């Protein structure tokens, strides 16, 4: 007579309460993996989830999130600062750290609740992991297989140098190299991916042949051609061109130039410049895709957690807890809010991903006009995966920021011109403004615009070996003066001779102002 | 595919190397900050670490960045409520360019001040640096109190190595008796009896026992079975029997000391002089704290009158008026009598002064010292703090102050009394060492014991 009202196969909750153990962690991971791989069809590196304490999280956090890093005081500085902030409660710890490596390593903290662990696994082990593996910049510029080995090599090498040459000597080189880290990446040409075996071999070779290598800076033979008074302009120009070609000038990668050409550096000093340069290069794609990468991870964790709930695998309480974390992460303060500090990459990224999802599934007339290719294609995940693979923040915004989202976030554009005594609202979220706002927001996410345009342009081979570095000024935006002076000093230290920094106008090519570093300055440091 | 790795057991403090490099780098600032802290911090607090603040500028990491102002730029902001294109907004004054400021420099994190916590060892290292202590002594002063291991009864759990056999067996025996566990001998006895009866049966032609013997055999067999069951059910040694020797860490030596700080606070003692005195008292406290579990501090200041005060008043208030040193000694005598009986307390005193005293007071001081104070004290040190420049001028003339003249004879006749001159921070430790040198301490304990 009795009738079963519930289906016999009603799934059990993965967990209840806040505590976790390794069994629930594993079961939760499996359920998440099922959704990520079978429903979302994500393509990821194998995962390694590491459970750590909050103190270990602080450690990892302060060495730019890598599990292995060479020692330097600036990491110690970051550590003591984060430590105080954390202990005083001004700042929580990062919930997770994830490393672009194969296997992909994600750290979870033991203090987290199981809901938080689920969120972190969905976010990092699947969201970020998929992004790392598929985005073209990461594919092109980073080597997930080799990075941990390379860092191990770097750490040992620098420790060895400290033993042999002393802390101070190594610190001097690292300080200088760190100051130039932003200018130590190849932006356009393909770099070689660091490969441990080859690196070691190359390092050995370099040490061996360093003394024998010919360096044009040391040429003492007389020039074949005398500097005649009447040497015509053409030939002089040709000589300059020849010289520049010989040094591969202009060179935007200042660290690379110094590593190869600075006359007085020791072999180990060159190697340290190379290490810093390689690490800078490894992180370069992350800087260019911050917003997309976080947006992707947030979209993935949101989709997965909702799916877990829909399948009856997590309770309503767990879902509430998740939504609380989630909404704090993707919160965007408005410009007049005291909490405002620019666009939150999590908020903008997540909003854009959700918006693309909407355009694919439920487009308006406006969306069809703006995004004819994807509107209503009913394939939101495929569309997003395409986008994650082929864009970086700047091009992604340019391609996908919709009028609806601009309206939702009520974006507006401010012109701040030096000739004007006041700021002016140049565009808002209306028909006339969409394209302007979108273009400006994209530019704000373009690293090549945000970071100054620096190049090595010439070396005075026949005189005092003065090095010439050029800053191309766009829109009259100058360098921060005191910073530039200090950095120039560091270049001078590495170069060993005088350095001139020239600011030139990007349109006229006219030299606007100059800054000098002389060998006497070097003697005084 | 998933690997879950538990890294919690990995050694922590991976960034210790970075922290040390940071400390090296910021050494000058940290040292200054520590000096400031010493100035404001109580004598008894020296034993712990502290949080300090240093300027962030010196730890700045430069790079080529765009200036925050100037030039033509534009930026997108969220949250428009009322603006329409063409609206003009006054350029925000000061700050970082207001609305767009944080946008213009997304990486510019504020680094004006930098606060962090020094560990106790780091703090003491820097504290000692000025005092120029030899490394060996630094180590022994930094060590926490020495502990002596003493028996502390028995506990029901512990490591096998600490198992107390005697106690365990005693409990086991009591339990076995209490629960009536059969002894092995009893079982053997039963078995023998059964065997004897069975042998008896075999000898008979019918191979059967007589009725009484038969009954006895059945009784014995039942007894044996019961005995074996009991033996199984009641183990020889049960976990509840086990007892372990317990040990306790007891600080050694386990006694108490009181330290009297006496100082002239009249106008002639400058801030720097008090600073030096404070360093001396701190070092003395550290030293006593190392030897005694409990150390009390009594502050007595005086001008022409003396009073017991708190530390704050002792170092930071300034009085005017004449100087009569004997009032301080009287006050010490009173406090001693009221609160610190000699049989319970080790008594130390340190007096810091610039040496000025009211002209007729010297003899009174000497008498007080010799008759009332020194017999009760373990040790009494007088530090005369002189201005660095004055010291140079007077060093040749052996410029003796009133107090020095009065005290010098006492020092010659009494081993528990010593006097020294200090002019700068670096002098403090050498003076301290001389005052508390080991052989002197031995001599003292000889006197006392």
According to DSSP, residue A396 is labeled H
pLDDT of residue B98: 38
**How far is residue B169's CA from residue B151's CA, in Å, rounded to a whole number?**
19
What's the average model confidence in pLDDT over A488-508? 91
Query: Contact A76/B10, CB-based, under 8 Å?
Result: no
pLDDT at A232 over 90: no
Q: Is the bond leading into A150 cis (omega within 30 degrees of zero)?
A: no
pLDDT at B252 over 60: no
pLDDT at A123 over 90: yes
What is the chain B residue with the closest CA to A470?
Answer: B64
Region for residue B80 given its phi and psi (left: phi exceeds 0; alpha: psi -120 to 50; beta: otherwise): beta
A320 three-class SS: helix
Query: Contact A53/B89, CB-based, under 8 Å?
Result: no
**ipTM score of complex:** 0.84
- Is B81 part of the contact surface with chain A (CB cutoff 8 Å)? yes
Query: Contact B15/A59, CB-based, under 8 Å?
Result: yes
pLDDT at B105 over 50: no
Cα distance from B123 to chain A (closest Cα, Å)?
A: 15
How many other CB atoms are there within 10 angstroms of residue A214's CB atom? 7
pLDDT of residue A207: 66
Calculate ∠ Cα A122-A128-A131, nearest 5°.
130
Dihedral sign for Cα atoms in the order B96, B97, B102, B107: negative
A5-9, A421-425, B119-123, range with the lowest pLDDT: A5-9
Summarised one tens digit per residue, pLDDT across range B172-222 is 999 989 988 888 888 899 999 888 888 888 887 777 777 888 888 888 889
Residue burial A351-375, b: 16+ Cβ < 10 Å; e: rest? bbbbbbbbbbeebeebbeebbeebb
pLDDT at A466 over 80: yes
Query: Contact A84/B77, CB-based, under 8 Å?
Result: no
The answer to whether residues B75 and A416 touch, using CB atoms and an 8 Å cutoff, is: yes
Mean confidence (pLDDT) of chain A: 86
Q: Which of A347-351, B107-111, B342-346, B423-427 is modeled with the greatest confidence?
A: A347-351
Query: Contact A49/B117, CB-based, under 8 Å?
Result: no
> At a CB cut-off of 8 Å and minimum separation 6, what does A233 contact?
none
The answer to whether residues A366 and A338 touch, using CB atoms and an 8 Å cutoff, is: no
pLDDT of residue B253: 54
Q: Which of A49, A73, A107 sits opposite B2 (nearest CB)?
A: A49
A2-11, A145-154, A332-341, range with the lowest pLDDT: A2-11
Query: Contact A71/B17, CB-based, under 8 Å?
Result: yes
pLDDT of residue A81: 79
Calculate ∠ Cα B179-B185-B189, nearest 5°.
115
Percent of chain A with pLDDT over 70: 87
Query: Contact A73/B18, CB-based, under 8 Å?
Result: yes
Q: Which of A110, A182, A411 sits opposite B80 (nearest CB)?
A: A411
Provide the pLDDT confidence category of residue A375 given band limits of 50, 70 and 90: very high
Cα distance from A224 to chain B (closest Cα, Å)?
A: 39
Q: Which of A410, A427, A479 sits opposite B85 (nearest CB)?
A: A427
Residue B143 exposed, middle or buried by CB count within 10 Å (0-12, 13-18, 19+): exposed
What's the average model confidence in pLDDT over B69-84? 89
Query: Contact A59/B12, CB-based, under 8 Å?
Result: yes
pLDDT of residue A436: 94
Q: Which of B83, B89, B102 sits opposite A341 (nearest CB)?
A: B102
According to DSSP, residue A251 is labeled B
Provide the pLDDT confidence category of residue B113 given band limits of 50, 70 and 90: confident
pLDDT at B165 over 70: yes
Which residues on chain A are in Cβ contact (under 8 Å) with B81? 336, 410
What is the chain A residue with the closest CA to B99?
Answer: A335
pLDDT at B447 over 60: no
Summarised one tens digit per residue, pLDDT across range B337-353 is 888 887 778 888 888 88
How many other CB atoms are there within 10 angstroms of residue B165's CB atom? 10
pLDDT of residue B137: 53
| Helix (H) or strand (E) run with residue A260 in it | helix A254-261
pLDDT at A285 over 80: yes
Query: Contact A25/B4, CB-based, under 8 Å?
Result: yes
Chosen for mutation from B12, B22, B49, B78 (greatest number of chain A CBs closer than 10 Å) is B78
Provide the pLDDT confidence category of residue B288 given band limits of 50, 70 and 90: confident
A385-394, B252-261, B296-305, range with the lowest pLDDT: B252-261
Largest Cα–Cα separation, chain A = 117
Q: What is the 3-state secondary structure (H, E, C) of chain B?
A: CEEEEECCCCCCCCCHHHHHHHHHHCHHHHHHHHHHHHHHCCHHHHHCCEEEEEECHHHCCCCCCECCCCCCEEEEECCCCCCCCCCEEECCCCCCCHHHHHHHCCCCCCCCEEEEEECHHHHHHHHHHHHCCCHHHHHHHHCCCCEEEEEEEEECCCCHHHECHHHHHHHHHHHHHHCCCCCHHHHHHHHHHHHHHHHHHHHCCCCCCCHHHHHHHHHHHHHHHHHHHHHHHCCCCCHHHCCEEEEEEEECCCCEEEEEEEEECCCCCCHHHHHHHHHHHHHHHHHHHHHCCEEEEEEEEECCCEEEECHHHHHHCCCCCCCCCHHHHHHHHHHHHHHCCCCCCEEEEEEEECCCCCCCCHHHHHHHHHHHHCCCCCEEEEEEECCHHHHHHHHCCCCCCHHHHHHHHHHHHCCCEEEEEECCHHHHHHHHHHHCCHHHHHHHHHHHC
Per-state percent for chain A, helix, strand, coil, to nearest 5: 55, 10, 35
What's the average model confidence in pLDDT over B307-325? 80
Query: Contact B70/A452, CB-based, under 8 Å?
Result: no
pLDDT of residue B217: 86
Query: Contact B2/A58, CB-based, under 8 Å?
Result: no
Cα distance from A225 to chain B (closest Cα, Å)?
A: 39
Establish, for the pair of chains A and B, how many residue pairs have beta carbons separated by less than 8 Å.
Answer: 273
pLDDT at A135 over 90: yes
What's the average model confidence in pLDDT over A273-297? 93
Q: Which residue has the higher pLDDT, A249 or B82?
A: B82
């Amino acid at each position: 007579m009795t009738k079963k009202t519930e289906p016999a196969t009603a799934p059990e909750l993965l967990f209840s309460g806040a505590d976790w153990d390794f069994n629930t962690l594993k079961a939760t991971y499996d359920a998440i993996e099922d959704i990520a791989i079978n429903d979302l069809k994500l393509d990821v590196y194998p995962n390694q989830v590491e459970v750590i304490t909050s103190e270990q999280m602080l450690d990892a956090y302060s060495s730019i999130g890598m599990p292995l890093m060479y020692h330097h005081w600036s990491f110690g500085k970051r550590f003591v600062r984060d430590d105080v902030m954390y202990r005083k409660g001004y700042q929580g710890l990062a919930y997770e750290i994830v490393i672009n490596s194969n296997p992909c390593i994600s750290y979870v903290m033991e203090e987290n609740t199981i809901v938080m662990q689920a969120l972190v696994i969905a976010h990092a082990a699947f969201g970020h992991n998929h992004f790392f593996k598929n985005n073209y910049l990461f594919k092109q510029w980073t080597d997930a297989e080799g990075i941990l080995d390379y860092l191990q090599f770097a750490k040992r090498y620098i420790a060895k140098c400290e033993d042999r040459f002393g802390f101070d000597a190594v610190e001097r080189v690292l300080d200088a190299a760190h100051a130039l880290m932003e200018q130590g990446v190849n932006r356009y040409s393909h770099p070689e991916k660091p490969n441990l075996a080859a690196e070691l071999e190359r390092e050995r070779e370099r040490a061996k042949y360093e003394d024998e290598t010919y360096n044009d800076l040391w040429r003492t033979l007389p020039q074949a051609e005398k500097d005649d008074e009447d040497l015509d302009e053409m030939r002089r120009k040709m000589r300059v061109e020849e010289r520049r070609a010989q040094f591969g000038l202009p060179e935007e990668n200042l660290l690379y130039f110094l590593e190869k050409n600075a006359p007085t550096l020791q072999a180990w000093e060159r190697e340290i410049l190379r290490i810093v340069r390689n690490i800078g290069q490894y992180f370069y794609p992350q800087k260019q895709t911050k917003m997309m990468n976080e947006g992707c991870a947030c979209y993935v964790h949101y989709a997965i957690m909702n799916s877990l709930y829909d399948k009856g695998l997590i309770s309503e309480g767990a879902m509430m807890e998740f939504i609380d974390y989630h909404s704090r992460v993707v919160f965007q303060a408005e410009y007049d809010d005291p909490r405002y500090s620019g666009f939150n990459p999590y908020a903008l990224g997540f909003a854009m991903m959700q918006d693309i999802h909407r355009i694919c599934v439920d487009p308006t007339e406006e969306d069809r006009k703006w995004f004819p290719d994807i509107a209503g294609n009913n394939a939101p995940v495929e569309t997003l995966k395409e986008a994650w693979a082929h864009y970086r923040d700047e091009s992604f915004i340019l391609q996908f920021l919709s009028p609806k989202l601009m309206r939702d976030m009520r974006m507006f554009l401010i012109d701040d011109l030096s000739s004007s005594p006041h700021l002016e609202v140049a565009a808002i979220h209306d028909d006339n403004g969409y394209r302007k706002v979108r273009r400006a927001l994209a530019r704000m996410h373009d690293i090549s615009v945000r970071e100054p345009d620096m190049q090595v342009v010439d070396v005075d081979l026949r005189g005092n070996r003065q090095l010439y570095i050029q800053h191309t000024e766009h829109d009259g935006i100058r360098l921060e003066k005191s910073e530039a002076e200090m950095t120039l000093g560091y270049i001078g230290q590495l170069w060993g001779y005088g350095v001139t920094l020239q600011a030139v106008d990007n349109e006229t090519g006219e030299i606007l102002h100059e800054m000098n570093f002389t060998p006497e300055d070097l003697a005084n440091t | 595919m998933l690997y879950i790795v538990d890294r919690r057991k990995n050694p922590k403090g991976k960034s210790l190397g970075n922290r040390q490099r940071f400390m090296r780098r910021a050494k000058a600032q940290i040292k200054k900050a520590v000096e400031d802290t010493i100035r404001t911090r109580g004598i008894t607090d020296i034993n712990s670490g502290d949080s300090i603040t240093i300027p962030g500028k010196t730890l700045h990491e430069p790079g080529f960045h765009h200036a925050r102002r100037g030039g033509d730029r534009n930026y997108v902001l969220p949250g428009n409520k009322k603006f329409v294109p063409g609206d003009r907004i006054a350029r925000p004054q000061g700050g970082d360019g207001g609305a767009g400021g944080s946008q213009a420099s997304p990486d510019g994190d504020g680094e004006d001040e930098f606060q962090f916590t020094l560990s106790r060892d780091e703090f003491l290292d820097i504290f000692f640096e000025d005092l120029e202590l030899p490394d060996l002594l630094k180590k022994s002063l930094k060590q926490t109190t020495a502990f002596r291991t003493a028996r502390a009864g028995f506990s029901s759990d512990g490591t096998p190595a600490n198992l107390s056999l005697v106690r365990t067996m005693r409990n086991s025996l009591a339990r076995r008796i209490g629960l009536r566990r059969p002894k092995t001998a009893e079982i053997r006895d039963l078995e023998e009896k059964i065997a004897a009866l069975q042998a008896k049966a075999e000898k008979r032609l019918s191979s059967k026992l007589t009725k009484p013997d038969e009954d006895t055999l059945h009784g014995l067999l039942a007894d044996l079975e019961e005995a074996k069951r009991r033996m199984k059910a009641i183990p020889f040694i049960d976990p509840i029997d086990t007892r372990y020797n317990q040990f306790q860490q007891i600080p050694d030596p386990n006694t108490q000391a009181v330290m009297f700080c006496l100082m002239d606070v009249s106008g002639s003692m400058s801030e720097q002089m008090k600073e030096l005195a404070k360093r001396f008292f701190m070092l003395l406290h550290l030293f006593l704290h190392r030897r005694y579990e409990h150390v009390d501090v009594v502050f007595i200041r005086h001008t022409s009158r003396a009073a017991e005060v708190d530390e704050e008043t002792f170092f930071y208030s300034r009085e005017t008026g004449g100087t009569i040193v004997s009032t301080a000694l009287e006050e010490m005598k009173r406090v001693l009598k009221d609160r610190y009986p000699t049989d319970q307390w080790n008594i130390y005193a340190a007096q810091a002064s610039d040496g000025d005293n009211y002209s007729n007071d010297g003899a009174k001081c000497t008498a007080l010292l010799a008759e009332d104070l020194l017999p009760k004290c373990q040790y009494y040190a007088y530090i005369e703090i002189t201005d660095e420049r004055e010291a140079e001028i007077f060093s040749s003339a052996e410029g003796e102050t009133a107090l020095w003249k009065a005290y010098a004879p006492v020092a010659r006749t009494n081993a528990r009394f010593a006097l020294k001159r200090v002019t700068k921070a670096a002098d403090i430790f050498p003076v301290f060492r001389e005052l508390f040198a080991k052989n002197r301490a031995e001599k003292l304990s000889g006197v006392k014991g």
